[in-house]
Amino acid sequence: MSHFPVALCDQLNNSTACDQQRKQSHCKKMTMPSHKAAHCIPPHTLTRLAREWLAEDTPNFDPAGACVGSQEVEARLLCKTPHSVLAGSPFFTAVFTEVGCTVDWVYQEGEEIGPGAITLTAVVKGPARCLLLGERSALNCLARASGIATRCSQLQAAAAERGWHGEVAGTRKTTPGFRLVEKYAMLVGSVSMHRQDLSGMVMLKDNHVWASGSITQAVREARSVCGFSSKVEVECQSAEEGREAAAAGADIVMLDNFQPQELHVAAHVLKEEFPALLIEASGGVTPENLAMYFSPHVDIISLGCITQGCPVVDFSLKVQKPATPPSKTTSVMYKQSHDDSIRKCERRLF
């Protein structure tokens, strides 16, 4: 956290000139983000998470708070990763609300930020020490969520460009304790979250099958517990395993770690025999090879890289240095320094 250096101020002013009208029209009315996904998060959940993050970062004293005090300051949120999708603003706002600060957003949740190298994204106001208390927790959420939403948006755009009918989806490979934020970011990026957790849907993987004895036995036992309200998915290593799973009553078959051409053949065979069966492709899929897995017989393609190894978006929060007139002490010091400089010049000349 620092004051704006002059060079950065000039760069920001140049790169965000076109944002000034946007800021004037949005900031006054946008104290909370406008995106349908934001309405899925219960207010008490936002409050709980914000308090947990703040308690983790400041479990007792904040000695640095004594240096800055509680005078009102204004800080600018800057995005330094052009063409990023903004995600996580409900969490960012919740953190600063908890410490008594306000946030005015220039960009809406889900919008692409840029194209400038440095783009003004929001303005935060509040007591200096409180603003600094919330800074890191808020930035962490925003950087991570925006990175995931940006990758999701790129993947979804690739699917749309090819005219693929299915859904790009995430996985449960999320950061412990941070799943809600990361799943939410998938929504903002327009991909499927997949199941939220182990309670959300039954997924029988190879270990479940080996422990129970067979695919058929595993599906029957799971179905007897979950009933009609949950779907059952089975991870399969071959078309034959997929056929057994479908015959046992599975709703979804995951063809795991198939090469693209093998996937297309197996999916076609299964769809012909079980037209209502959903086919998911997973394992080894990356942003670079995603298009190779598109097929009219594949309904879902899930990627662990949506959350694992996903680049974050570079955000920083910069306090604006107040434009105050020099104090009396500063004026006296300046005069003394000026007089000393004149004397030195006189000695050199004479």
Residues 92-143 pLDDT 10s: 999 999 999 999 999 999 999 989 999 999 999 999 999 999 999 999 999 9
Active site residue: 80, 125, 173, 231, which one? 173
Judge contact between 226 and 202, C-beta under 8 A: yes
pLDDT at 163: 96
Alpha helices in the chain (DSSP H): 6-15, 19-26, 43-57, 65-68, 89-98, 128-162, 179-188, 206-212, 215-226, 239-248, 260-273, 328-349
Number of CB atoms found within 10 A of residue 104's CB: 18
Please indicate whether residue 173 is annotated as part of the active site.
yes
Angle made by CA atoms 115, 120, 125, in degrees to the nearest 5: 165
Q: What is the pLDDT of residues 250-282, one digit of tens each?
A: 999 999 999 999 999 999 999 999 999 999 999
Asked whether residue 3 carries a pLDDT value surpassing 80, the answer given is no
Q: What is the pLDDT of residue 321?
A: 86
Give the pLDDT of residue 83. Answer: 96
**pLDDT, position 178:** 95
- Token pair, residue 40, equals 């899925």
For the entire predicted model, the pTM comes to 0.83
Structure tokens at 126: 């509040």
Burial profile 159-189: b = 16 or more Cβ within 10 angstroms, e = fewer: beeeebebbbbbbbebeeebbbbbbbbbbbb
Number of residues written out for the chain = 350
Can you give the pLDDT at residue 261? 96
- Kindly report the backbone phi and psi dihedral angles of residue 59, in degrees, each rounded to the nearest multiple of 5, phi listed first: -70, -20
Q: Which residues pair with 76 in a beta bridge?
A: 123, 318
Residue 327: pLDDT band with limits 50, 70, 90: low
The model's confidence at residue 325, banded by pLDDT at 50, 70 and 90, is low
pLDDT tens sequence across 69-83: 999 999 999 999 999
Coil/strand/helix, residue 167: strand
Average pLDDT of the segment spanning 217-221: 96
* CA nearest neighbour of 143 among 97, 194, 193, 178: 178
pLDDT exceeds cutoff 50 at 195: yes
Check pLDDT > 60 for residue 15. no
Please report the pLDDT score of residue 6 as a whole number: 37
Mean of per-residue pLDDT scores for the chain: 87
The pair of structure tokens assigned to 267 is 């999916």
Q: Strand, coil or helix: what is 102?
A: strand
What pLDDT band is residue 200 in, cutting at 50, 70 and 90?
confident
Predicted confidence (pLDDT) at residue 322 exceeds the cutoff of 90 = no
Would the pLDDT of 175 be above 90?
yes
State yes or no: pLDDT of 304 exceeds 60: yes
Find residue 288's DSSP bridge partners: none
- What Å distances lie between residue 12 and 6, 114, 147, 223, CA to CA? 10, 12, 22, 58
Whether 346 shows a pLDDT value over 90: the answer reads no
Closest C-alpha among 162, 185, 137 to residue 306: 185
Please choose, from the candidates 255, 199, 196, the residue with its C-alpha nearest in 3D space to the C-alpha of residue 222. Answer: 199
Residue-wise pLDDT tens digits, 136-169:
999 999 999 999 999 999 999 999 999 999 999 9
